[in-house]
Amino acid sequence: MIAHFLRLEWKQYFRAPYWQKSIGIKIFMGFFALYFIAMFLGMGFGLFPVLKKAYPDQDPFTIVNQALFYWISADLAVRFFLQKLPVMTVKPFLTLPVKRSKIVNFVLTKSIFSFFNFLPLFFAIPFSIVLIGKGYDPTQVWTWFGFIFLVTHVINMLNFFLENLMAKSELSILPIVGILGLLSGLNHYQVIPLSDLTASGITAILETPVYLLIVIGMLVVLYISNYRSLKNKLYVDSAVQVKIKEAKTSDLSWTRRFGDIAPFMQLDLRLIMRNKRTKSTLFILVIGLLYGLFFYPQPVYRDMEFFYSFIGIFSTGSFLINFGQFIPAWDSGYYKMLMSQNFEYKRYLESKFVLMSMSVVLLFVFGIPYVYFGWKILLVHFAAMIYNIGVNTHVIMYGGSFNRKKINLDQKAAFNYQGTGAVQWLIGIPLMVIPMGLFAALNYFINFEVAVTVLIALGLLGIVFHTKIMKTITKKYIKSKYKMIGAFDQDN
């Protein structure tokens, strides 16, 4: 039966209509995977001598064990946002004499072959070989390798459990991010030395390998929990049952002050709050606001003035970039109906512009505390705000006129390239690379003040000539309207 499932999965994969459409993305992801494999291999062979040179008085093996707390946290977070859980089309099997237990076991076993489970091995295997070559006890080294292998699969099953829990209870992803952030903060400020506790636990396992049974027990418990959860869902009634939810309305009366574009703003805000794919833009907005905290607390980045522009553009424009790059594909499901209405197209586009501009201003205001790291940082963020409003909003809206991919709003955004085309890959050049390169060049060859002034001046020019620019963009959308309608109808 397992072999039969595998054959069906193989046929489904290569016969799916998206296979030919997304082959370019698959090639890109292949190179992306090779890059990480090479990086992990390099770390596996080179980390020991690097740590020995940097910390001559400490044991590199102990340092790695202390860092495993951060690896476990990061691995869980990355899997949660990027790993696609294994699925299969089960509805046809529910009316056939196929045991539900076999279907569930196949789905769970399939998760073992995830790329995320293999990636740590490209570090653990060469690092274990280096440790043995340096004279460490082979029994302890291979016990450590077994621990890494088991913990990787524990994280995989834990991610599976959290995904099912969130799907069942409709919890937000923010509590999970908050918990991981809180634990990291407690460890960083030594309130609870979780790194030391992790290293002590690993040392105990190395000295008494029988403690690996505890990790194995965790893996078994999570597997059984996921097994029961999935098996309870595999019923014909649950597969065809229509879930009825009460529509929640929000008070959007404040949008009326924007005049005739208010109905379109309300439509966008409701779309963002009610769909899985668009809700991710709200999370990215939070990430953008806190993005500077990944860099500014470290003195090495505070000395890199040219890097301020990149952080400023992304921090104040995170919503602009993630929401704007899919205009008008967000409305692709009802775009034909929308275009049959009697309204001025410019109003439709102006509502997008106002929404993105508001997000840029709000992100800058909430990011004012970055002045703690230096007034230059706040000044660049202000310049980035003006540049985003005056230049990047127009750039991304013009790029949207080339969108021809329909978006399924019910799908998750993490690692989901449905609806992604060449436009989304190329738009990053004018959005990020050009302003960063311009700022860096002016800052290097002239001075910091001139670099900031030029960014502000370009943004102000875009604001001053906004009306004329929008007329050009509107004409491009109207010219492409019927091509978009046809593409959105065909791209299912």
State the average pLDDT for the chain: 79
Which of the given ranges, 141-150, 335-344, 367-376, has the highest pLDDT on average?
Answer: 141-150
* Whether the predicted pLDDT of 10 surpasses 80: no
What token pair was written down for 55?
Answer: 């910390």
**Between 108 and 147, whose confidence is greater?**
147
Give which of 171, 420, 413 is closest to 277, Cα–Cα. 413
Q: Assign 3-state DSSP to the chain and report helix, strand, coil percentages, each to 5.
A: 80, 0, 20
pLDDT recorded at residue 244: 45
CB distance 69 to 187 below 8 Å:
yes
Q: Which long-range contacts (CB under 8 A, 24 or more apart) does 214-219 make?
A: 215/147, 215/150, 215/151, 215/154, 216/150, 218/154, 219/150, 219/153, 219/154, 219/157
| pTM of the predicted structure, to 2 decimals | 0.57
pLDDT recorded at residue 327: 82
Span 392-405, pLDDT tens digits: 999 988 888 887 77
Q: Which residue has the tokens 């969108």?
A: 403
Separation in Å, CA 112 to CA 250, 385, 403, 429:
42, 45, 36, 37
* Whether the predicted pLDDT of 333 surpasses 90: no
d(C-alpha 134, C-alpha 81), whole Å: 37
pLDDT recorded at residue 122: 92
Label residues 5-40 b or e (16+ Cβ within 10 Å = b): beeebeeeeeeeeeeeebeeeeeeeeeeeeeebeeb
d(C-alpha 191, C-alpha 186), whole Å: 5
d(C-alpha 119, C-alpha 91), whole Å: 32
CB distance 389 to 362 below 8 Å:
no
Taking every pair of C-alpha atoms in the chain, what is the biggest distance, in angstroms?
78
Give which of 457, 125, 439, 455 is closest to 305, Cα–Cα. 439
Which of the given ranges, 83-97, 344-358, 449-463, 477-491, has the highest pLDDT on average?
Answer: 449-463
